[in-house]
Structure 1
Amino acid sequence: MKKLFSALLFCLLFPLTALAQDYSDGHGYTTIANPVPTNDPHKVQVVEVFWFGCPHCFRLEPYTQEWKKTIPNYVDFQYLPAVFGRGWLNHAKAFYVAKLLGIENKLHSDLYNAIHVDHRRLNTEDSLAKFFTHYGVSEAEFKKQFNSFAVQSRLAQADARIRGYGVQGTPTLVVNGKYLVDAETAGGNDNIYKVVNYLIEKEHDKMQ
């Protein structure tokens, strides 16, 4: 009965167009040559590789927020900040500070909007420290975490994972360490999560 309910819930939450579409390697997604193991074999992991300064990531964010409202409990969604250039590092560090302080969900979309809508130059330690004060974090606490070993460790782990995935740009969705989905392969932001949902179903079926 539990499995039946789960299957019915999946059909209700995930668009039927995504389930009916026949995607294949090179048509909707790209298969990773050497799959990267996930943390929990009982869940389908979905990772969004992103950069707060990326306009394409900013445009995808509303789609991501809406999609996150529909995912069932067997999907593990994670953001993973990329550092493909010197200007990317401080944003990645800020992401992990927010995560360590438990304000990631409150701050994530707000930081995108501050950069891309309000055109604020939030790319230095000091400017980011001031931004975090709006979430009850003192500048001293922000800077302590910003330069901490915990943040440095997470940056190194993120870099290793992104290299393992073979991600070349942002935003890129990684499904279960096996498939890459981006706007180009999916045919636009409107289709990205249709492809992701298709791959989630494919991977979840293997777990049954």
Structure 2
Amino acid sequence: MRFIRTILCAAALCAVTATASASPANPANGVEYLTLPEVQNTDSGSKVEVTEFFDYACPHCHAFEPVLAEWVKKQGASIVFKRVHITRGQGVLPQQRLYYTLESLGLVEQYHAKVFHAMHVQRQRFASDEAVFAWAEKAGIDRAKFIDAYRSFGMEAKTRRAAAMMEAYKIDHWPILAVGGRYLTSPSLASAAVKTDQTEEDQQQSGLLVLNHLVAKAKAANK
């Protein structure tokens, strides 16, 4: 789990020695993006799979959500987009189960942004199962169906898979995007070599530039 942290710590040094052409528009491996030591299997066929690792409690994930959602919309059917809610102990489990319950009920697109709004604007913590159930019911989701999915055996499998994917992809910060099972980038990584002050919005746009580059790179590798 130290892979990304080590690279991030070295990024400043890499930026000093990187060629002048390295930038979000012309990204360099080890600076604006990382190449995984082992290619991970994806199930998206010839299409490029883009996976976001995120956390509902993360303010940067909240800020990035509408920007990323617009990018995904523009890609249409040219990519397969997935999300993985990270795991980091019992405290995040109700929020993680909330996401995977929405996913299992086919309600992510309708309610994903609303969960972020509830946590970061309305200051709901979702620190317990009952808090999650109360929000779902108030949001208009059938309470009984939601609880059944939330407590299902399949939910345990989803949370275990999330932990396994975090380990396989060496994830220790978020939001971060995996492309084609080969590459990782994020707003913070994409901006690591930029020497001027950047707003969070600037970093997000840098992240999308690198993401575009990696999707094209992965498509070429799939041919």
Q: What's the TM-score, normalizing by structure 2?
A: 0.80
Q: How many residues align?
A: 189
Output one character per residue of 1:106-154: Cα deviation in whole Å (capped at 9) or x when no partner.
Answer: 1100000110011122221111111112454333322222111011111
When structure 1 is superposed on structure 2, of 138-147 and 164-173 the one drifting more is: 138-147
1:56–1:171: 8 Å Cα contact kept in structure 2? yes
Matched, 1:35 2:39: yes
When structure 1 is superposed on structure 2, of 101-110 and 130-139 the one drifting more is: 130-139
Partner of 1:152: 156
AA aligned opposite 2:101: V
C-alpha distance in structure 2 between counterparts of 1:40 and 1:111, whole Å: 27
The percent identity for this pair of structures is 26
Structure 2 gap segments, 5+ residues each: 1-23, 192-202
Structure 1 gap segments, 5+ residues each: 1-19
Output one character per residue of 1:14-73: Cα deviation in whole Å (capped at 9) or x when no partner.
Answer: xxxxxx922121221011111111112301000000110111111111211111121142
AA aligned opposite 1:152: E
- Of residues 214, 218, 221, the one that matches 1:199 is 214
Counterparts of 1:108-119 in structure 2 under 5 Å? 108-119=112-123
Q: Is the partner of 1:78 in helix, strand or coil?
A: strand
AA aligned opposite 2:185: V
Q: Please report the RMSD computed on the Cα atoms of aligned residues, expressed in angstroms.
A: 1.5
Q: What's the TM-score, normalizing by structure 1?
A: 0.85
Partner of 1:102: 106
AA aligned opposite 1:31: T
Counterparts of 1:136-151 in structure 2 under 5 Å? 136-151=140-155
Counterparts of 1:36-75 in structure 2 under 5 Å? 36-75=40-79
Partner of 2:131: 127
C-alpha distance in structure 2 between counterparts of 1:113 and 1:40, whole Å: 31
Matched, 1:163 2:167: yes
2:94–2:126: 8 Å Cα contact kept in structure 1? no
